[in-house]
Amino acid sequence: MSCGERAAGAGWLLALLTLAAARAAAVLLQGSGYAGLLVAINPQVPEDAKLLANIKEMITEASFYLFNATQRRVYFQNIKILIPATWKANNYMKPKHESYEKAEIIVAAPYWKHGDDPYTLQYGECGNMGKYIHFTPNFLVNDYLIDVYGSRGRVFVHEWAHLRWGVFDEYNNEKPFYITGQNQVKVTRCASDLTGLYVCEKKSCTEGNCVINQLSGLFKEGCAFIPERTQTAKSSIMYMQSLSSVVEFCNENNHNREAPNLQNRMCDYRSTWDVIISSMDFNNTLPRTDTSLPPPPTFSLLQKRDRVICLVLDVSHSMNGEDRINRLRQAAELYLLQVVEDNSYVGIVTFNNEGEIRSQLCQIVNKDIRKQLASYLPTAAPSGGTNICVGLQLGFQVIKKQDGNIYGSEIILLTAGEDSGIIECFSNVINSGSIIHAIALGPSAAKEVEQLAHETGGLTFFASDRLDSNDLIDGFSAISSGSGDTFSHSIQIESAGERTESYKQFSRTVTIDSTVGKDTFFVVTWQSAEPPKITLLVPSGKNYTNKDFEVNTVLQVARLQIPGIAEVGEWTYALMNTHLSPQILTMTVTSRAANSTIPAITVKAHISSDRNEYPRAMVVYAQVSQGLSPILGANVTAIIKPETGYPIILELLDNGAGSDIVKNDGVYSRYIYSFSENGRYNLKVHVQRTNKTVRPHPTVPWSHSMYIPGYIENGKIQMNPPRPSVISNEDIQTRVGGFSRTASGGSFIISAVPTRLYTDVFPPCKIIDLHARTANDDIILSWTASGDDLDQGQAASYEIRTSESPLELRNNFDKTMLVNTSDLTPQHAGSKEIFVFKPEAFATENITIIYVAVRAIDKASLHSDVSNIAQAVKFVPPMDYLTDNIEYSVSRIVLLGFGLLTAVCLITSATICALKKRKKVFITETATNLL
C-alpha cells in the first residue's frame, strides 16, 4: 500500500486532530437516520437462526416506534450484527473496526442463573450516553416474555433512551408507592393517568387486601399495581412501554414531579422528553412534515474469523538510551509468549528510515511458534530516522498475504520518535480497515499516533522512561482480541516494580483466585548483568527459586510457567538485589480463566476523555466484574503517571457519591483534576480484595425494563409468573475468595496546565445522594460528604434550603428557605453526614411534603452545584387515600384481595391454588368495596 497523497495543507491535520474520538459514539445520526449501530453476539451464545431473525424484527419495530415517539424526528437507518467466530461461516462480510467490546448492543447470557431483564449499563450523569444495552438470548427468542416486558421493539426504544440520551427510569422497585401532597398513596410513575388496581400478591397481606402501614402511610410489602391492558394514556415509554396506548415520553405537561424515581433524582425533576430534546441529536433535527414513514432499517451481517496482528516496531535512533530497545524486547516477548491468544496470526515489522519484515504471519498453534516469533524481535542497536508510514505500509503488506484483505486486522505500533511526515499516510491508514493500537514510548514520540488509534478504534498507551513503572509491559498486556471471549484472554494479576538497594529485597504478595490459574506466568526483570535472587512461596508451602525459572541474562528476564492450574491462595515473591548498586526490579504475573464455563474476574479501566484542557476535571473509571456481574467490596487504586513528574494516586470508590453515579454496580470511580504538567499521562489500576465470606450481591441494574406482574384485561386479572429470583437457595451464602488484578487504562493528553502556582478553581463536587426522612416533626437528612476540591479534601460549610416546590429549589435555590446549619461542620470527603432539623412549615402550616437541597462551600467560597432534591413526607393519619382515586377509572379505589376474603375464596379457589403454583391465572373480577 502506498503512503499516498499529501494533504491539501497543514490545516487538514489540525482539523483532524480536533475531532472527538469516535470510539465513544460510533453511531452517527445522518439526517434523521441512525447509522452504524452495532449489535454483537457473545461467543458463548449457541448458534441460532431465530435469534438473528428476532434481532432484525425487534429493531425494525423499534425504528417505527422511535420515529413516532420522537415526533417524527429520528429512526434506525442501518444496523450491523457481529456474528461470533464460534458460529459456522456463511459468507458474512468481514468487519473493519467493529468488535464485541465496541458494540452498543450485546447479546449474552446473564452470569447469574436467572434474570432476563433487558438493561443498559449507564454510569454517567443525566444526559450522558451509556455504555451498552444487554439482551439475553432467552429474552430474544422466547415469546412468553413479551407479556412480561412488552413487545421487543418497544423495550428496545426504552433502553435506547437510556443509552443514547442518558435518561432514567420513571418507576422505582424499591419505592413503588409514595404519598402525594394531597396525602394520597400513588404509584411511582409518569404520567399519573394510567388506570389499574392495587392487588395483594403475597402472604404479608394478612387481611387479604393491600394494607396501609400506619407508620409510613404506604402499602405494606406484597401490594402491586396491576394496570389495565387497554388504556387511553399515551405516556410514558420510560415507565410502562408495554401498554399499546403508550407512544410518548413524559413531557413538561404531564411529568410527575412528586414521584420518587430516578429520572427526578438524577435529572433535577426534568421530564424525560426535556432531557431527550436537549440532546445534540436534535440540535438540527426537525420533525418531518410529510406523512410518509421512514424506510425500514437495513442489516449487515459481519463475522471475524481469525485474528491477524502485525507488530510494527520503531528501531530508529529515537530508541537509543533509557534501555528502550531492551525494554521493547522484554514487553514484546511477554506479549508473544503469554498474552496473544492461541490461533492468532502474528507478523513482525521494524522501521527507521526504511522498513524491514522480520517475520511474515505465523499462526500460533503451540509454544514453539511463540518462541520462534519472539526470536525475530529486534536486537541491533537503533539507528536512522523515524518513518512511521514506511512501517505501517510494510505491516499492511504482511497482513495482505493472509487473504489479500486488511479489514479487521490489527497493528501494534510502537514508536519513540517524532515524525513530521506521518501526515502523508494518515488518510490511507484511517481508511484501510485496520485497527491501530498505538504505544508511545518516551516524551518525544509522534503526537499524531494517538489520533490514528482513535480514528481506527484502537487503544492508546504511553510508557515513560521511568524504569520502575513497567508501563511498556502493561501496554502490551492490555491488548486483547476484543471478541468477548474472555475465557481465552490473558489476565494481568500483578505488575509492580521498585528501586531496590544493594542486598535489599523487593517483596509482595499476590492472590490467585479460583477463577484463574491456567497458563500462569511469573516474570522478573532487572538491570544488572546477573539476575536477582528469586524466591516464590506457594500457598501450600512449596518454594520456587532461580533454578526453576527460565533465565535470559541478555534480555534480563526470568520466566516461570506454573504447571497445570495454579494453586488458589496467596503467593509471596521476594527479589533480592545481589548487585553492588541499586537497580530496578519488576514482577509481572499473568494467567487465564481456570474453567471454560466460569468467567474470570476482570478489570477494565479508562478515563472519561482521551484529551482534556485544564481546568476541566476528568473521571477515572474501573469496572470490576465476573462475566456481567459486578464485584463489590474491592480496594481499587488508580495510578496516573505523567511524562516526567510524580504519579497521582487515587482510591476509586463505588459508593454512589461524587463521580460515582450508581452505588454497588461494580464501577469504581473518582475525579482527577490536579495535573503537574502538559503532555501524555498513563493510567493504571491495582485491584485487591481479601478473603471473606459475603452474601452474593447481584444488583439489579438501574436502567432496565420493568417486570410487569400482570394486567387487567376484559375485567379479569391476568397474572404473569412471579419474577425469578437471581439467586438460588444454595447460593445464599457463598465463599468469595480474595483476588489481585492489575490493568492498564491506556493514556490521555492534558494541555493548558499553568506553569505557575494557580488559584483554587475547583469547587466541591455535587452531592448526588441526599436522602430525607421524617420523624415526628423533624427531618433527618443524610448524604455523603463532598470535598474542598470536588471529591477530595474537606468542604468549609454546607448551605441547606427547603421549599414546597422542587422546581423552585432547582431554578431559584438562593431565594428559598434557608436552614440554620451553624452547628454543622463538614467531614472529610466520602464520610457519611447526618443532619436533623425541624422545619417551621410542618409545625405551622398544613403541609405534608417539603423538598430539601444542599450545596457545599469550600474555603475559597466556591460552591458546588445544587444537590439532588430530596423529598421529606410527613404522614398525617388517618389518610384520605380512599376518597379521591385516579389510579382506577371509576371514582373509587378497589382493593382486590387474594386468599382470605370468604367471597373471593368461594368464587376463585381454583385460581388461588394456581397462583400458589406460580402459573398464569385468570380471576373473575370480584371487587371488594372498602368504602
Give pLDDT tens digits for 114-155: 578 999 999 889 999 999 999 999 999 999 899 899 999 999
Residue 458 CB burial class (10 angstroms; 0-12, 13-18, ≥19): buried
Rounded Cα gap, residues 255 and 758, in angstroms: 44
Q: pLDDT band at 847, cuts 50/70/90?
A: low
Amino acid at 547: K
Rounded Cα gap, residues 648 and 299, in angstroms: 46
C-alpha cell at position 504 = 535489599
**Residue 832 predicted with pLDDT over 60:** yes
**Residue 129: per-residue pLDDT:** 95
Q: pLDDT band at 262, cuts 50/70/90?
A: very high
**Residue 736: per-residue pLDDT:** 54
Q: What is the 3-state secondary structure (H, E, C) of 100-162?
A: HHHCCEEECCCCCCCCCCCEEECCCCCCCCCCEEEECHHHHHCHHHHHHHCCHHHHHHHHHHH
**Residue 859: per-residue pLDDT:** 95
CA distances from 680 to 25, 444, 447, 461, 643 (A): 23, 10, 9, 9, 6
C-alpha cell at position 522 = 511469573
Rounded Cα gap, residues 311 and 459, in angstroms: 14
The tens digit of pLDDT for each residue in 733-784 reads 344 579 999 999 999 999 999 988 778 999 999 999 999 998 888 999 999 9
**Residue 477 predicted with pLDDT over 70:** yes
Rounded Cα gap, residues 211 and 892, in angstroms: 16
Amino acid at 649: I
Q: How many CB atoms lie within 10 A of CB 238?
A: 30
**Residue 250 predicted with pLDDT over 50:** yes
In the set 61, 98, 104, 159, the catalytic residue is 159
Q: pLDDT band at 290, cuts 50/70/90?
A: confident
Torsion angle of C-alpha atoms 333, 339, 342, 343, degrees rounded to 10: -70
Residue 292 gets the label, from left (phi > 0), alpha (psi -120 to 50) or beta, of beta
The values of phi and psi at residue 140, to 5°, are -80, -25
The tens digit of pLDDT for each residue in 23-62 reads 334 899 999 999 999 999 999 999 999 999 999 999 999 9
The tens digit of pLDDT for each residue in 373-427 reads 999 999 988 999 999 999 999 999 999 998 889 999 999 999 999 999 999 999 9
CA distances from 303 to 35, 39, 331, 592, 680 (A): 19, 12, 31, 25, 35
Of the chain, the end-to-end C-alpha distance in Å amounts to 83
**Residue 111: per-residue pLDDT:** 66
Question: Between β-strands 550-552 and 355-363, what pairing exists: parallel, antiparallel or unpaired?
Answer: unpaired
**Cβ-Cβ contacts under 8 Å for 272 (sequence gap 6 or more):** 161, 167, 168, 170, 190, 236, 237, 238, 249, 250, 251, 255, 263
CA 14 to chain CA mean position, Å: 31
CB 775 within 8 A of CB 873: no
Location of C-alpha cell 530508541: 319
- Percent of all residues in the chain with a pLDDT value above 90, rounded to a whole number: 72
Rounded Cα gap, residues 619 and 792, in angstroms: 13
Q: How many CB atoms lie within 10 A of CB 881?
A: 21
Residue 185 CB burial class (10 angstroms; 0-12, 13-18, ≥19): buried
**Residue 21: per-residue pLDDT:** 34
Torsion angle of C-alpha atoms 425, 427, 433, 439, degrees rounded to 10: 60
**Residue 305: per-residue pLDDT:** 87
pTM: 0.89
For the chain, the average pLDDT equals: 87
**Residue 918: per-residue pLDDT:** 34
The tens digit of pLDDT for each residue in 689-733 reads 987 654 445 555 568 888 898 999 998 999 888 777 655 433 433
Three-class SS state of 452: helix
- Is-catalytic flag, 159? yes
The values of phi and psi at residue 685, to 5°, are -125, 145
Burial call 733-742: b when 16+ CB within 10 Å, e when fewer = eeebbbbbbb
Q: pLDDT band at 911, cuts 50/70/90?
A: very low
Q: pLDDT band at 211, cuts 50/70/90?
A: confident
**Residue 734: per-residue pLDDT:** 45
C-alpha cell at position 76 = 434506525
Residue 683 CB burial class (10 angstroms; 0-12, 13-18, ≥19): buried
Question: Between β-strands 739-751 and 611-613, what pairing exists: parallel, antiparallel or unpaired?
Answer: parallel
**Residue 428 predicted with pLDDT over 70:** yes
Amino acid at 419: D
CA distances from 25 to 101, 103, 724 (A): 13, 10, 34
The tens digit of pLDDT for each residue in 305-323 reads 899 999 999 999 999 989 9
Rounded Cα gap, residues 87 and 80, in angstroms: 16
Q: pLDDT band at 877, cuts 50/70/90?
A: low
